[in-house]
Amino acid sequence: MGGLTERRPAAPVLVVGAGPVGLVVACELRRRDIPVRLVDAGRGHSAHSRANVVWPRNLELLDRIGVTGDLLDIGHRLAGTAFYSRGRRLATAWMSRLPDSPYPFALTLSQADTERVLRRRFAELGGTLEEGVRLTALDNTPGGPAVKLEHEGGRIEELEPGWLVGADGAHSTVRKELGIAYDGPPVDVSFAITDARLSTTLSEDLSHYCYAPSGAMVLGPMGDGVHRIALNVPHDAYDEGNPPPMEMFQQVVDDRAAGRSRIEELLWSGSFRVRVRIASAFRGERCFLVGDAAHVISPAGGQGMNTGMQDAFNLAWKLSGVIRGEFGEPILDSYDTERRAVSHDVARSTELLTKAGLVSTPAKVALRDAAFMAADRTGLFQRKIAPQLGQTAVSYDGDRHPRLPVMVSGADGPGDAPSRPGSGGWPAVDRDRHTVLLWPGRRTPPPDWQHTRDRLRRALPEGTPVLDLTRAVPKGLAAALGPGPAVAVVRPDGHLLARLDPRRPQETTHLLTRAAHLRSRP
């Protein structure tokens, strides 16, 4: 049905889609007082859990917008993920043994609860979510996008926001209107999924990946006896009118799961078919894609929503800085290159995890099991798989910009106490600007360290956040900074930008100018 068309002044940023990823973008922008319009077509918010795990790295980043504490209050903590074959444990990836995160655990909770916390935070930051508003057309030009929004009742609104963020899911209208391709590797598997009340001998402190010749399944405790159960099924075995029944889940649990488990009640069940897709570009002029609009990956490892949230944080600190005049617009080019590369890395790792669970021939099963057990015995599983699952291993531009074990929370400034109980002792960097870390080395500082430090401070641009690491720091940070004196420039998201010689302060000054993509001021 047609409707009246109106024009209204546009906010600098229009975010389309109010799932967890769109909400994170909107909260980050509002936190810096950027006017945002957040619209959602109405996805029929379901009590069904969908994404149900938040990994350590994302708990760190969510503290930027002040919601980690609220999530911890309602979520269920997991110490790690155990892998089994025919009931025998092969290996365990322990989040609790990660040496470089203030949140050494995974948190399980329903996506509906995560969205509720984020919505409340967006409102606290002065934002208003507009539901029942659908983007129907987008004309993208170098000067900025022009869009049409259709409201419930048929009213059409035309506006020209300064920037557009498409967080509107795998079937993204924004991506289609931009003409961006959406392809991926040939991973095609169907899953049945449920949240169920379960009596089990398995630990409530671990998620359990169980492999059997008939297929794979995951049991993920969510607290109060509720478990997420996901397992592969034949294509088209179930549909919306024929949800997977309790008897099927119990039969597969009996066949594939370690320990002994009895399903007491299904809270809901459903099925879905996964095809991996990654957009060929995450940016088109002043329009950006985040979350499922940019990538859909295998649910193995619970990486999808977490990867999307990291898209949101990567984009939002850069975009807010550009809008506020603190960064030059070229810094936004790095959003596409950094996050697209990470998406391909995550897609590859989850593809391998998916395929590992679906091998069925005796020879391949024996090879997989032997590889998992050997990696566990040698510590390789803990060193490589645990950080990969926990997303603390994310690095940009190869290994040039690794994540550092620092807080990126809501502290008032570098060196202030982190905002979360239990995370004391972790240096807090500035959330919005590049921070300079002064590192005297692991041993006694050199005799001229005080002079070197003071000279560097005087050379830095006015207002540069500086954190003097003369006190004890986490082992992971000391290892990253190296044994000798150094100056490290850290991005607002906690990734290392560069490690430099503190005796050459002009190098640090030039780097900060280049990093912001601003012309040097006289």
pTM of the model: 0.92
Res 236: pLDDT: 82
Q: Residue 240's pLDDT is what?
A: 75
- 94 has pLDDT over 50: yes
CA distance 412 to 37: 27
Strand 5-7, strand 156-159: pairing: parallel
Q: How confident is the model at residue 309 (pLDDT cuts 50, 70, 90)?
A: very high
Lowest mean pLDDT among 84-98, 111-125, 260-274, 308-322: 260-274
Report which listed range, 9-18, 21-30, 358-367, 422-431, is most confident. 21-30
Three-class secondary structure of residue 312 per DSSP: helix
Q: Which distant-in-sequence residues (6+ apart) come within 8 Å of 388 by Cβ?
A: 349
Assess whether pLDDT exceeds 70 at residue 2: no
Strands (E), 234-356: 261-275, 277-279, 283-284, 287-289, 295-296
| DSSP helix, strand, coil percent of the chain (3-state; round to 5) | 35, 30, 40
pLDDT exceeds cutoff 90 at 427: no
pLDDT tens, position by position, 211-257: 999 999 999 999 999 999 999 998 888 877 789 999 999 999 999 99
DSSP state of 385: I
What pLDDT, on the 0 to 100 scale, is given for residue 10? 58
- Per-residue confidence at 411, pLDDT binned at 50, 70, 90? very low
Task: Supply 293's token pair.
Answer: 């609009």
pLDDT for 510 beyond 70: yes
Decide: 195 and 249 in contact? Cβ < 8 Å.
no
DSSP of 33-73? T--EEEEE------SS--S-EE-HHHHHHHGGGT-HHHHHH
The pLDDT of residue 183 is above 80: yes
Alpha carbons 17 and 14: distance in angstroms, whole number: 10
The Cα–Cα gap between 165 and 156 comes to 20
CA distance to 27, 276, 393, per residue, from 288 (Å) = 16, 20, 24
Mean of the pLDDT values across residues 295-307?
89
Q: Where is 337: in which H helix or E strand?
A: helix 333-358
CA distance linking residue 443 with residue 268, whole number of Å: 57
Helix (H, G, I), strand (E, B) or coil at 459: helix
Convert the pLDDT of each residue in 318-344 to its tens digit: 999 999 999 999 999 999 999 999 999
Rounded average pLDDT over 253-275: 92
Residue 29 has pLDDT above 80, yes or no: yes
The confidence score (pLDDT) of residue 518 equals 64
Structure tokens at 385: 């798989």
Task: State the angle between helix axes of 20-31 and 304-323 in degrees (0 to 180), rounded to the nearest 10.
Answer: 30
- In terms of Cβ atoms closer than 10 Å to its own Cβ (0-12, 13-18, 19+), residue 519 is exposed
Greatest alpha-carbon pair distance for the chain in Å reads 78
Q: Determine the residue type at 193.
A: I
Give me the chain's average pLDDT, please.
Answer: 89
Q: How confident is the model over 428-479, as pLDDT tens digits? A: 899 999 999 999 988 788 888 889 889 999 999 888 999 988 766 777 888 8
pLDDT tens, residue by residue, 364-391: 999 999 999 999 999 999 999 999 999 9
Report the alpha-carbon distance of residue 268 to residue 304 in Å, rounded: 21
Q: How confident is the model at residue 300 (pLDDT cuts 50, 70, 90)?
A: confident
**Nearest by Cα to 295 from 347, 246, 337, 364:** 347
Question: Helix or strand or coil: residue 273?
Answer: strand
Identify any residues that bridge with 283 across adjacent strands, giving them in sequence order: 288
pLDDT, average across residues 37-63? 82
Between 187 and 272, the higher pLDDT residue: 272
Please enumerate in sequence order all residues whose Cβ is within 8 A of that of 217, keeping only pairs 6 or more positions apart, or say none: 209, 210, 229, 230, 231, 232, 252, 253, 256, 257
Query: Do the beta carbons of residue 263 and residue 247 sit within 8 Å?
Result: no
Q: What is the pLDDT of residues 62-83, one digit of tens each?
A: 999 999 999 999 999 999 999 9
CA dist 61 and 101 (Å) reads 11
Whole-number pLDDT of residue 521: 40
What mean pLDDT do residues 493-511 have?
Answer: 91
Other CB atoms within 10 A of residue 511 CB: 17
